[in-house]
Each structure stands twice: as structure tokens, then as C-alpha cells.
Amino acid sequence: MMILVVDVGNTNITFGVYEDKTIVTTFRMTTKMPRTSDEFGTTIRAMLRNNAIEWESLTGCIIASVVPNVMHALTGALVKYIKQTPIIVGVGVKTGIKIITEAPKEIGPDRIVDAVGAYGKYGGPALVIDFGTATTYDLITENGEFAAGITAPGIGISAKALWEDTAKLPEVEIKKPKSILAQETISSMQAGLVYGQIGQTEYIISQVKKESGIDNLKVIATGGLGRIISDETDMIDVYDNTLTLEGLRLIYEKNRKN
């Protein structure tokens, strides 16, 4: 069995190919560039070929998306060029995660997929932190229930606000400077962005443990900028850059007979 898993985020569309339970390759394209189904299809085929995957070998496909306006073209491309009708994570799709928040329908498919990946791979109770366009913190109970979620601006959003909304601050690379005691503009911005995110992360983890009464939380980080933060704090137990893709694979497994 070889399946294509697709995570449509606000910034990037991430593709992964699994052969049974092993991830074979991953590749990305930007989300914000408008594409027709033919453009999606030819690009996906080319990227598969560049990663030594023949599209004819794919036996299934699944998508989780937080960007509705790309879905028509993307799903059309998969049907036409990959010959697969994808499972789309949403209402009616089995996940194995029970959402016990006040408004279950408001929980995005990306967060559900992360929860499935974390619980399936590491068990519960767990706190899943996804450092994406937004930084999200999701509490999963020992019994696999989605109990609570916190949403904050991502590091990229915060950085963009700095250089777009201020007249004299430049665009900078997001990385940890040598010292928090910055003495010029670029390292000053880097210090504020990275150390600020570390502080936010540690405080929210502490507060979640305090208010939930769960001390034995496994804290799992994922997302593009998660490595930078997880390397700088002992309060994150695991950084897993393919957590979302693993969640998609697990959901596919639960639903493929249908």
C-alpha cells in the first residue's frame, strides 16, 4: 500500500508518501499562489517523479485543509492526474479522537490531525504544539479526548507585523541571536521574536499543567519553526516534524474500507 497524504496549511501545502507505515518522501509547494487543477496535477506528478515515486503506484490519498479556496482545484488534480479520489478530513470521517470542547465543529482539521498523530504515536495525556502560521497548543487526555486548545500568533506572523507595520525595521531571518542582550537592530528583533516565543511556550505549558491538574503531560512539538524553539527549552519532550503527516496516515487507515 502506498498513499499520498496532503496537509494544506495557510503558508505551505505539504505532501508525504507512505509505503505501509513508513514515510518515503515529503515535498512542499506554496499555498497562496493561485493554481488550476491542471497546474496542481502536473506539478504534483513532477514532484513525485523527482522523488522517485511513480504516480501509478499510489493506492490512496487523504487531505486535511484549512484553506477552502484551494480544495476544488487540488482535489480535481488528484482525481485527474493521480487517479485517486481523496478522503477529506472533516465531518463523517473517523479519527478516533473525541472532541469534548464546547464547540467541537470549530476545531480545525489540522489540529485534529495533529492530535491523532500525537495520541497514536506517543499516547496520552499530551500537549501538542504546532509552530505554524499560528502557534497552537492542544490538550489531549489519557483517553484520547481533545479537551482544550490555545491559539497564538505564529513567529512568522509576529515577525511580519514588525517589519510591515513599522517604518524603519527590516525583514530579518528568524533565528536565535548569540545573546538576548542585543546591541543592533537585527539581533534585537531576533531576540524579541525567538526569546519571546520561548517564554510564551514555557508559560503556556506551565499554565496548562496547572489548570488541568495533569503533571505527566508529554509535550510534543511540530511545525516549521518548532525545531528552533524545542531546542531551547527542556519543557518540550519531543520535536516531530512529520507528526501531521503521521496523523493523516492513521486517519486514512481508519477510513480506507469506506
Q: Which three cell numbers stand for residue 67?
A: 484553506
| CB burial of residue 227 (10 Å; 0-12, 13-18, 19+) | middle
In this predicted structure, the answer to whether residue 245 has a pLDDT above a threshold of 90 is: yes
Percent of the chain with pLDDT over 90: 76
Beta strands in 41-172 (DSSP E): 60-65, 87-88, 98-99, 126-131, 134-140, 145-153
Residues 11-30 have a mean pLDDT of: 95
Contact present, 11 and 157 (Cβ < 8 Å): no
Residues 34-43 have a mean pLDDT of: 95
ω into residue 125 within 30 of 0, thus cis?
yes
Residues 169-173 have a mean pLDDT of: 81
In this predicted structure, the answer to whether residue 166 has a pLDDT above a threshold of 90 is: no
Q: Residue 163: pLDDT band by 50, 70, 90 thresholds? A: confident
In this predicted structure, the answer to whether residue 123 has a pLDDT above a threshold of 90 is: yes
C-alpha 74: how far from chain center: 18
CATH superfamily of this structure's domain 2-88: ATPase, nucleotide binding domain (3.30.420.40)
CA distance linking residue 110 with residue 63, whole number of Å: 10
Q: Could you tell me where in the chain the CATH 3.30.420.40 domains are found?
A: 2-88, 98-241
In this structure, which amino acid lies at residue 167?
Answer: A
- Residues labelled as active-site residues: 110
**Which alpha helices (DSSP H) does 26-108 contain, by range?**
37-50, 71-77
Architecture of domain 98-241: 2-Layer Sandwich (3.30)
List pLDDT tens digits, range 180-191. Answer: 998 988 899 899
Residues 35-59 have a mean pLDDT of: 95
Q: Residue 258: pLDDT band by 50, 70, 90 thresholds? A: low
pLDDT for position 170: 82
CA distance linking residue 25 with residue 20, whole number of Å: 13
Query: How many other C-beta atoms lie within 10 A of the C-beta of residue 2?
Result: 15
**Which alpha helices (DSSP H) does the chain contain, by range?**
37-50, 71-77, 109-122, 155-165, 185-212, 226-230, 243-255
